Amino acid sequence: MHNIVIVVVDNGSNTNNVEILKTLEQYGNVHLILNKENLGYFRGLNCGIKFLNQNFSTINIAVIGNNDLTFPLDFYESLLINHAILQQHPVVSPNILTLDGLHQNPHVINSISKIREAVYDVYYSNYYLAQIIIKIAKMTQLFTDRKDEEQHDVAQEIYQGHGSCYILGPLFFQHFDELWAPTFLMGEEFFLSVQLMEKGMKVFYEPSIKVTHHCNGAIGKMPKKQMWEYAREAHKIYRKHVSII
């Protein structure tokens, strides 16, 4: 019998949603953490990781992610099949597909081009400029979109995996107690890559482990400008680590 523990971290939801979540506790392996306030994405996940470390120290593989993921029936079997990979790499990024069948991984294989980095700086300089850039990007998508996701069938080490789902293996817990979470929201893919690189490690993308992502199910109701402001704060930290000169 395999030791499977499910930890649900709630970031300050309203009373009705909390009462619905409490019904999950009828299942013996489900544990609910109710934060009084919204701590943010990685900081919320860290609450779950801390709970596992304190109460289930024998568990050394953790699947973490958004609340808008759907796991296939054979998901656990895919983890067993990839046991060796999970032992060899601190973080494994799965094959993430949207409801439309679009692949979101590998998110960034090597690096971001200097031109795109410059566009990022303009994008985060002014909210209204950002909206213009979004419109231009949509019109020129066929020519300007990054092509990393086209390698979705290739298992490989990558620079960044899509932030909606990760699998933390024994190597992660040997080196870290939690995820690096310098911001409330946004930029998590980069922060994790920096955390790993400081120990000489990288994310590994494994296409045979699959999940479905109901995009923006977690943040879809957040005002666009507020989202941009969170992303701008993350970009300030990003720019401290990545220079475009």
| pLDDT more than 70, % of the chain | 97
- The confidence score (pLDDT) of residue 76 equals 94
In a domain, 223, yes or no: yes
In a domain, 171, yes or no: yes
- The confidence score (pLDDT) of residue 2 equals 66
Domains held by the chain: number: 1
- The confidence score (pLDDT) of residue 62 equals 96
- Whether pLDDT at 6 is above 70: yes
Decide: helix, strand or coil at residue 224. Answer: helix
8 A C-beta contact, residue 243 and residue 116: no
In a domain, 36, yes or no: no
Range of the domain at 95: 61-241
Distant-in-sequence contacts of 217-226, Cβ < 8 A, 24+ apart: 217/66, 217/67, 217/68, 218/41, 218/66, 218/67, 218/68, 219/185, 225/127
- The confidence score (pLDDT) of residue 145 equals 82
The DSSP code for 38 is -
Q: What is the pLDDT of residues 29-56, one digit of tens each?
A: 899 999 999 999 999 999 999 999 999 9
91-98/203-213 β-pairing = parallel
In a domain, 194, yes or no: yes
Mean pLDDT across 90-114: 95
Total Cβ atoms within 10 A of residue 43: 19
What confidence category does residue 179 fall into, taking pLDDT thresholds of 50, 70 and 90? very high
Q: What is the pLDDT of residues 55-69, one digit of tens each?
A: 998 888 999 999 999
Q: Which of 194, 214, 239 is nearest to 67 (CA)?
A: 214
In a domain, 30, yes or no: no
In a domain, 236, yes or no: yes
Give the bridge partners for 212, in sequence order.
Answer: 70, 97
In a domain, 43, yes or no: no
- The confidence score (pLDDT) of residue 143 equals 76
In a domain, 10, yes or no: no
Angle value at C-alpha 64, between 223 and 176, nearest 5 degrees: 110
Instruction: Give pTM, 2 decimals.
Output: 0.92
